[in-house]
Amino acid sequence: MKIQEITSLISGTVVEGEAFIDRDIDCAFASDLMSDVLTLRTDKSVMLITGLCNTQTIRTCEMSDIKVVMFVRGKKVTEEMIELAEDNDMLLITTDFSLYRTAGILFNAGLPGVY
């Protein structure tokens, strides 16, 4: 699924990585537990949906080869996070929707889970 379709479905805003708007996402994983994100085993293009908004969210995605992160419930992304994301060619999206609603809408629209 294209980023543009994803952002439009959940009324999201791209806050970093506009240049990568054409990226295609194969599947998504929703979690606030970074320990869980670090156990993902997949070669597919994954988007993380999370309510955990700090630098370790970005670091975890860097190590896990996750290039797209969606922050739910209107979380504010800090400058430090944006710099880290920029350094790693990541795309960051925010939405006011809850994690449950975001995941539900995207799943219904055809974006599968990792597992």
Partner 1 sequence: MHFEYNVEGGDFTNAGTTSSKVKKMMKQLGVDPAIVKRTVVALYEAEVNIVAHAYRGVIYVDLEDTSVSIKLVDEGPGIPDINQAMQKGYSTASPQVREMGFGAGMGLPNMQSNSDKLVVNSVVGKGTTVEIVNYF
Q: Is 96 exposed, middle or buried (0-12, 13-18, 19+ CB in 10 A)?
A: middle
With contacts defined by CB under 8 A, name the span among 2-10, 30-38, 92-100, 106-114 that binds partner 1.
30-38
Closest CB 65 distance from partner 1, rounded Å: 6
Quick check: 44 binds partner 1 (CB under 8 A)?
no
Quick check: 18 binds partner 1 (CB under 8 A)?
no
* Strands, E assignment, 17-115: 27-30, 46-50, 68-71, 91-94
| In contact, 111 and 25? CB cutoff 8 Å | yes
Token match 């908004």: residue? 53
Instruction: Give the residue, chosen from 19, 21, 63, 109, that forms a contact with partner 1 under the rule CB under 8 A.
Output: 63
Report the interface residues with partner 1, using CB under 8 A. 32-39, 43, 52, 54-57, 59-60, 62-65, 80
